[in-house]
Structure 1
């Protein structure tokens, strides 16, 4: 078993950081971005506008026995720069994994986008064994960035 507890992928996307952030901060768009195939639809969500918000997604995966829901607790928000959330099975407190999106403008129509999937704070051994972190591979994260680039393309 690897000691690695997070994966980060980065890519320069030919779009303004404003346009990229508009897509990332809208949970309604996450199904089209998802490179893992787990996200099915939004269950309850408003545009992300600050920390403390929670959005709920409909998901599906063998690791959870089929269909399930997640509550995503927004823990980081800086307009045009950062959006982050901790994911939990619906109705529970986050058990320790987090998604962090960081944007760095590279000019008026170019943005460096980094996505970090971090499970370093998961301490529940049963959960670690059940889910088998990392649940989302580096290749799936890279596909998510490809999907984001397509979503903001002119």
Structure 2
């Protein structure tokens, strides 16, 4: 299910996995390319798990309409409430390491529906994007189905068994 509000897209999906497992997948930047429903996210540059507010993690991107095709996004962790919520603010980083953020955010809210199910709500919010950015970028840059696709990819990654039926090894934190 997805909804379109005035300046955000919201999608919700029930995932057949414990909340801690879903959160662990989201907190791992190396999974973001497989979660992404557009195919724009390519690879994690910073591979450390997301563990603190203000943490910066970079990912390589590709979009055919971007002036460079391949580019890099620097994301700043804005919400971190394990295992209930995680979110970040995408931006860019210049050659001197100065970060600039465009004002749009990604946020995942997780609600346990029992020991092995989690309701995940994904919100893409562009309400804080300044007009000068809106003058050259169309918001949202994708349809609402992107969020639904992303949640389905997240569900596949977080499910305790692989597609082949082989159990996926859990970390000690996920077992508790």
* TM-score range normalised by the length of the shorter chain: over 0.9
CA RMSD of aligned residues (A): 1.5
Equivalent pair of 1:80/1:103 in contact (CA under 8 Å): yes
1:60-91: CA deviation from partner (whole Å, max 9, x where unpaired): 11342211100000011001101010000234
Q: How many angstroms apart in 2 are the aligned matches of 1:113 and 1:3?
A: 18
Equivalent residue in structure 2 for 1:28, among 27, 30, 34: 30
Equivalent pair of 1:95/1:124 in contact (CA under 8 Å): no
Partner of 1:78: 81
What is the deviation of 1:98? 0.4
Q: How many angstroms apart in 1 are the aligned matches of 2:81 and 2:5?
A: 30
Partner of 1:118: 125
Alignment of 1:2-151 (within 5 A): 4-65=6-67, 66-91=69-94, 92-125=99-132, 127-151=133-157
What is the deviation of 1:137? 2.0
Equivalent pair of 1:57/1:69 in contact (CA under 8 Å): yes
Q: Mind listing any 5+ residue stretches in structure 2 that lack a counterpart?
A: 162-176
**Looking at CA atoms only, which structure, 1 or 2, has the larger radius of gyration?**
2
Count of residues in correspondence between the two structures: 152
Equivalent pair of 1:36/1:141 in contact (CA under 8 Å): no
What is the deviation of 1:124? 3.4
More strand by share: 1
Q: How many angstroms apart in 2 are the aligned matches of 1:3 and 1:16?
A: 29
More helix by share: 1
Task: Tell me the TM-score normalized by structure 2.
Answer: 0.82
Task: Tell me the TM-score normalized by structure 1.
Answer: 0.93
Q: Mind listing any 5+ residue stretches in structure 1 that lack a counterpart?
A: none
